[in-house]
Chain A
Amino acid sequence: MKRLPLVLAAAAVLLLLAVPPFLKNYGIYLFTYWLVFVIATMGLNLTIGYAGQKSLGHAAFFGIGAYTVAILMKAGFSFWLGLPAAMAGCFVVGLAIGFPALRVQALYLAFATLGFNTAVWLVLRNEEWLTGGTFGINNIARPSFLGLSLARPLAFYYFTLGVTALLAGCLWRLLASPWGKAFTALRDNPTRAESLGIDTRAYTLLSFAIGAVYAGVAGALFAPLVEFIEPAPFGVNASIMMYLMVVVGGAGHFLAPLLGAAVGVLLPEWLRFAQGWYLFFFGLAVVALMLWLPDGLLGIPERLRARRLARSARAAVLAEPREREA
């Protein structure tokens, strides 16, 4: 049983390495696009799934990352300066937003981030001198890595894959460390965690800010991937979409971002037949999904196990009716 996930993971890695060279450019683009959202949702999964904070403004950080890189690159700086700047910017802004909101209730963070996202979107749209307004910023060049140009789709895909793997490794280490344990402790029982000496506010704040950094990296990769950015992909709808990706995948499962981002990126492609009705069906799908699978796709095995346990427990009770009566 223990070996199955490892085999699956190895097969997945092999697929990710071997399949894209056989794809057309659009296929490679979709794969890269998916990886970018995997990175973003990894951060959100840390915030929502492991630390239990309800963040509904992840696309704002995604946008801050993308615009930081784009603006710096347009000003003549290298991508390799833009990336750390994007990360640092998201971390600081994350702390500034999280600090007041986290003072009260988890629910308040949801509202604060939602409003924050609207505010960021307004800045992106209105401050034309900086962000280009609704015209956006175009011709964002792809960077080079150790002297290798990443201009070709395949090269950029492998670069993104490498970054994804690196960030996944960091997250894995973080979750296995005492810090990570503290995150989950305060998700499961904040009051108890606090009484055990965990400074809940510092940890929740940190989990939120680290999640924001992941979104910043994703944004920094998104800008050179699509080569043209404008405010639309960083609005409230995008945040909600990312939130859904995490929940659909199964918040708090390490692999949730892989599945959730795939659903989130592919769903619009599948629902193209619906045309004008697309978002209507999308919304209904979300409601239906929550009703059937409130713990997401990766919650299915646990649910099946729970049902099996319940069934055997019931069978045990039925087998000994006398004992129960007594």
Chain B
Amino acid sequence: MTDFLQLVFSGMATGGIYALAALGFTLLWQASGTVNFAQGEFVMLPAFAMLAFGKFGLPLPLAFLATCVLAVGVLGWGFKRGIADPLLKFGLMPIVVATIGLAIALRNGVRAGYSAEAHPFPSLFADKLFHVGGATVTLADAGTLAIALVLVLGTQAFLARTVTGRAMQAVAQNTESATVLGIDVPRMVFYTFAINALLACAAALLVTPTYLAKFDMGESLGTKAFFAAIIGGFNNSRGALAGGLVVGVCENLAAAYLSPAYKDAVALVVFMAVVLFKPQGLLGRRVERKV
């Protein structure tokens, strides 16, 4: 039982990180219909950027801030103007293919241009253990989960409570009426891309100490994020959190009790089960189609 609790808890920490990536993914989809298959690489790049800033002598918090600024410019604005804007009018397929190409290019650009090795990454948290009800919990796991929760809930509060956030939601729900109501739609869509970039930076900060900075670290992360987003409910930003936690916990339990070799297939199985029995996702709304 203590083993079980421990597995659940560390799974929730990983799940929190999946949730961050999944939330960005859901927001992009809602606001602009962009499906970003390079989402995992959007986490990998900030990890290397932080390492690079660290080499120039910046302490981790400053390196993180500098990376955030850079990410909003490159992964937010640059991605929107360079790839999403020109391709969205051609439908889903070109943007899916282009972002897959982007993911391959980024992954292998880092491998060929920088390093194929895994690089250690400074952890935010001290190496400390807690004992909760017999289970041992590391400070890193607890801290990761807490920060991820704060970020996801904070993003939701921003969307629900602030004028800008509500305008962004309006754009996501109905672009035309939002335009009529005087909302600056392109600006709101840009904000979504910026938030996606920031969430990716935060995910990088949290995940890299355990995963290490490596050119292919985004590969499985990106896939898990998609599955988490759909499991939770694609049209619901709260779903990303639920989906991320479900995937993280199931994966950890399956790796321990079934077979570690098939850990990466767990998200698929959960996804298939959810789609079979509750196609709109755990927290999603049913969407009626219009002719």
Contact = CB atoms under 8 A, between A and B. Distances in A.
Contact of B264 (A110, A118, A195): A118
Interface string A263-286: 000000000000011111111111
Nearest to A111: B226
Interface stretch (B57-65, B68-76, B167-175, B268-276): B268-276
Interface stretch (B88-96, B143-151, B184-192): B88-96
A290 B38 CA distance: 15
B261 A284 contact: no
B214 to A, nearest CB: 15
A291 B98 contact: yes
Dominant secondary structure at the B interface: helix
B108 interface: yes
Given A276-B111, A277-B112, A290-B98, A111 B104 contact: no
Contacts of A118: 223, 264-265, 268
Contacts of A100: 272, 275-276
Contacts of B226: 111, 114
A103 B209 CA distance: 39
Q: How large is the interface on A (under 10, 10 to 19, 20 to 34, 35 or more residues)?
A: 35 or more
A286 B97 contact: yes
Contact of A294 (B87, B107, B108, B109): B87
What interface size band does chain B fall in? 35 or more
A284 B101 contact: yes
A109 B28 CA distance: 19
Contacts of B178: none
Given A282-B104, A286-B97, A287-B98, A108 B35 contact: no
Nearest to B277: A100
B104 A279 contact: yes
Contacts of A278: 108
Contacts of A48: 93
Nearest to A282: B104
Given A118-B264, A191-B291, A287 B223 contact: no
Interface stretch (A31-39, A154-162, A240-248, A310-318): A240-248
Given A118-B268, A291-B98, 7 more contacts: A106-B92, A115-B268, A282-B101, A283-B101, A285-B101, A286-B101, A287-B101
Interface of A: 48, 54, 100-101, 103-104, 106-108, 110-112, 114-116, 118-119, 122, 125-126, 191-192, 195, 237, 240, 243-244, 247, 251, 276-287, 289-291, 294-295
Interface of B: 35, 83, 86-87, 90, 92-98, 100-109, 111-113, 223, 226-227, 230, 261-262, 264-265, 267-268, 271-272, 275-276, 279-280, 289-291
